[in-house]
Chain A
Amino acid sequence: MAYKRILVPLAGSAVDPDVVRLAVSIGKAAKAQLLGVHVIEVRWNLPLDAILDAELDHGEGLLAGAARIAAQAGGELETELLQAREAAAAIIDTAHERACDLILLGMPYRRRLGRTYVSRTVEEVYLGAHCAVLAYRQEASQ
């Protein structure tokens, strides 16, 4: 299956570099467009378009880092910053709007209550997205 447009949600976790490299390698054959998005989740007590400087700077920094990793891996990552109440909905909507055919999610390896933990965002994107979704979970040793 050759994907033409791949959306890579980036949360700033340790798994991000692996996901970006994986996206580059998946997209290389079909020269797919790669879009990295970071969603700033806005609390309900603030307006949706509130100017959140610290979150903005953090997001800019991590997107720039991801673009650099993609360049090192031989790909090009277009980046986008979003603000939303819930990251999952914004990811699904952006994937739909940008006609992406794959969402590549990264999951850091975490355990809670004796089970591998899957975040709410990953779960909702997995269940709600219209396009194909691939979830990459980090190795347990990492």
Chain B
Amino acid sequence: MAAPDLLTRHVERGGRPGDRYVRIVRPREFRRRGPGYVVASEEVLAPDTPAERVADTVRRLLFGARIASEREIHERVGVIKGLAVFASDNISSSAYATEEIMRVLVLAGVGALTLTMPITLVICGVLAIVVASYQQTLRAYPNGGGSYIVASDNLGPFAGLVAAGALMTDYVLTVSVSIAAGDEALTSIFPQLYPYRVALGIGFVLLLMIGNLRGIRESGTIFALPTYAYLVAIFGMLAFGLFRMATGTLPAYSAPPEWRAAHGAEALGILLILRAFASGSVALTGVEAVSNGIPAFRPPEWKNARVVLVLMGASFGLIFLGMSLLAGRLGIVPDPTEEHTVVSILTAALVGDGTPYHYFVQISTALILVLAANTAFADFPRLSSILARDGFMPHQFTYRGDRLAFSTGIFVLSLLAAGLIVAFQGSVTALIPLYTVGVFVAFTLSQSGMVRHWWKLRAWERGWWWRASFNGLGAIATAVVAVVVGVAKFAFGAWMVLVLIPVLIAIMWGIGSHYRRVRDALTLERPDPPLPTIRPRVVVPVNRLDRSALRALALARAIGTDVLAVHVSETHEEGQRMQQRWERWGGPVPLAVVESPFRVLIQPLLAYLDALDEQEPGRTTVVVLPEFVPRHFWENFLHNQAALRLKFRLFFRRNTVVCDVPFHLDEAYGEASEAPG
């Protein structure tokens, strides 16, 4: 039997004698794609009630019109928007990487700041290795090669989960740290906003959440301007500074004496240098984002991703080097109160405090720092959807909303990041130690996975050895950094992340086991299984013998032959009256009366069903529930909703099918008014 095609054909008379034509009427809600195959149109989502219409208008204003899945290719981004979406995290790190190194070094006195430049050079070297290794990853995994995919593909699912757990922790921290840093840049120029930094941070999270729920292309459009404004502002400032340095016209700068006096309590040892290196390594976060987000690029996806990766690394490296160089030459000392950032001090020294350009740099820095979180918003939902697809995260994470964004991931990320901002009172210094550990664990696993990948392909892939060498170098460099960062930051809060990652892995492993069990239980044993034969017992709970009950009884008779009506009565008299009424009716369905002296309806009925089950264990029971639906929603409050409560209890009962038979009261009113007499 073929499925109905939902079309009706009306033959119409034409204008000329004998002319006829057929009008094929199709439901507006569906578009036919083939015999027995229709596609639901946006009409099915059209709001019906005024409240739904208002909600729909608000939704459209906030998130925009719905996008069909087939339009996905048009929602992808090119290099320009891709740089704004996927590179903002890494590029924005340049705003605070120099400062983080200086803040640690200065603990050993202002003289220790001379090590800022050498540490910057080492970090830039590691960045170059990581970028070069990820170039190989993009080529090898043109459909998306995040650490999770590469590690699980080459090193096994456990390694994949370690990478995923580490990355997800870091993505949440990216949002919190970036927004806290953006807050700091803003309060540095508008100190009166300082008391409201937590509220501001949560506001920024909400803004990013809404922007990202509008879809990746649109979030790229919204957030591209601040990214490029930052690049123009910082490169302009650095170019001016370097010009003045080259011409020997650098202004004289002298840090306030109380700032100099505030530092210098610790000795300059290897541990302090390692800590400075670890703090500066925050700069490397975000490199991963591009490889995870390859599917979001326009074709040729991996080539566009490669361009973005190179532009990102080059932009970041130049800013980081320029900033460290100029800060060293000017003798800038970080503000111990954290009220002024190094970027702000540097800009003020070069172009003058409170000048329009100073404001331009500060505001664009604040914006890019906030937008760095956008990279995590692009990647966390994508990674969680991949994990959900593989059965390691709840399936809800694969859901793509109206704008093709992974809505659940975006919501969860926003919630977690806002929670962290509140918990750490929006302090960058408090959050930074938690940051970066995870990302280096993921880098190491991804790069090690790539070495294995090239080894497996050695028979077919020319030049496999140099590709493997690049990735091997990347793996060693990032593993060293992971250990250094872990050790140096352990006591300052990194231990929390090192505890959290195994917990996350255990949770994901548990979810994976659950989904495996479900899949095994539901899998067909052969491709052409016969339909099992079920002869159910059909039970119809009836309160009264009325139209609603009759419709339910009629349906029950259509479902099976063994039909039984059950009436729960509160008193003996009521039970007898029901029996007499039933006999007078003389219908083909037997009635069982269950008297409930304690005036409870549901439990006696469930116990009666249990008793029936004991007579024939394992037999399927279909409970056909007559239920009337009032004309207005408020009329529901006038009824006791017994059917609803019973449905809820039956939902978890074994071998039980619940069949709801709604009886719309407006139909009954219509029938009554049409009845003769």
Q: Which residues of A contact B (CB under 8 A)?
A: 39, 48-49, 51, 53, 56-57, 60-61, 64, 80-85, 89-90, 92-94, 96-97
Contact = CB atoms under 8 A, between A and B. Distances in A.
Interface in B1-48: 5, 7, 9, 11-12, 14-16, 19-24, 26, 31-35
Contacts of B14: 84, 89-90, 93
B15 A84 contact: no
A85 B12 CA distance: 13
A96 B16 CA distance: 12
Contact of B11 (A49, A61, A81): A49
A92 B21 CA distance: 11
Given A82-B21, A82-B22, A84-B22, A89 B15 contact: yes
B648 to A, nearest CB: 41
B15 A96 contact: yes
A64 B33 CA distance: 10
Given A83-B21, A83-B22, A48 B11 contact: yes
Contact of A93 (B7, B12, B34): B12
Contacts of A81: 23-24, 26
Given A57-B32, A60-B32, A92 B15 contact: yes
29 contacts: A39-B21, A48-B11, A48-B21, A48-B22, A49-B9, A49-B11, A51-B5, A53-B34, A60-B33, A80-B23, A81-B23, A81-B26, A82-B22, A82-B24, A83-B9, A84-B14, A84-B21, A89-B15, A89-B16, A89-B21, A90-B14, A90-B21, A93-B14, A93-B15, A93-B19, A93-B21, A94-B21, A96-B15, A97-B12
Given A53-B34, A56-B32, A57-B34, A82 B23 contact: yes
Contacts of B22: 48-49, 82-84
Q: Sorted from nearest, which 9 A-B pairs have the closest CB atoms?
A: A84-B21, A83-B22, A90-B21, A81-B24, A93-B14, A60-B32, A49-B22, A49-B9, A93-B15
Given A49-B9, A83-B24, A97-B12, A89 B31 contact: no
Contact of A64 (B9, B15, B31, B34): B31
A96 B19 CA distance: 14
Contacts of B20: 48, 84
Contacts, number: 58
Contacts of B35: 53
Contacts of B31: 60, 64
A80 B10 CA distance: 12
A97 B20 CA distance: 13
Contacts of A90: 14, 21
A113 B34 CA distance: 39
B279 to A, nearest CB: 50
Contacts of B15: 89, 92-93, 96
A39 B34 CA distance: 18
Contacts of A94: 21, 23
A64 B30 CA distance: 11
A82 B7 CA distance: 12
Contacts of A83: 9, 21-22, 24
Nearest to A42: B22
A51 B4 CA distance: 12
Nearest to B23: A82
Given A49-B9, A60-B26, A93-B12, 19 more contacts: A48-B11, A48-B21, A51-B5, A53-B35, A56-B7, A57-B33, A80-B23, A81-B23, A81-B26, A82-B23, A82-B24, A83-B24, A84-B14, A89-B15, A89-B16, A89-B19, A90-B21, A93-B14, A97-B12
Contacts of B24: 56, 80-83
A134 to B, nearest CB: 20
A101 B5 CA distance: 33
Interface in B101-129: none
B446 to A, nearest CB: 40
Contacts of A92: 15
Contacts of A80: 23-24
A139 to B, nearest CB: 26
Contacts of B9: 49, 83
Nearest to A130: B15
A73 to B, nearest CB: 15
A57 B19 CA distance: 25
B32 to A, nearest CB: 5
A87 to B, nearest CB: 9
Nearest to A78: B28
Contacts of A57: 32-34
Nearest to B22: A83
Contacts of B21: 39, 48, 82-85, 89-90, 93-94
Nearest to A53: B35
A57 B33 CA distance: 6
A51 B34 CA distance: 12
A39 B22 CA distance: 9
B79 to A, nearest CB: 25
From B9, B11, B23, name the one whose CB has the most chain A CB atoms within 10 angstroms: B23
Contacts of A61: 33
B214 to A, nearest CB: 18
Contacts of B5: 51
A97 B15 CA distance: 9
Interface in B357-406: none
Contacts of B33: 57, 60-61
A93 B14 CA distance: 6
Contacts of A82: 21-24
Contacts of A53: 34-35
Contacts of A39: 21
A124 to B, nearest CB: 11
Contacts of A84: 14, 20-22
Interface in B211-261: none
A20 B406 CA distance: 34
Contacts of B16: 89
B417 to A, nearest CB: 36
B641 to A, nearest CB: 42
A44 B87 CA distance: 64
A82 B14 CA distance: 12
Nearest to A61: B33
A93 B9 CA distance: 16
B10 to A, nearest CB: 9
Nearest to B42: A71
Nearest to B7: A56
B44 to A, nearest CB: 15
Contacts of B23: 80-82, 94
Contacts of A64: 31
A1 B5 CA distance: 41
A95 B523 CA distance: 55
From B15, B16, B34, name the one whose CB has the most chain A CB atoms within 10 angstroms: B15
Contacts of B34: 53, 57
A84 B22 CA distance: 6
A84 B24 CA distance: 11
Nearest to B34: A57
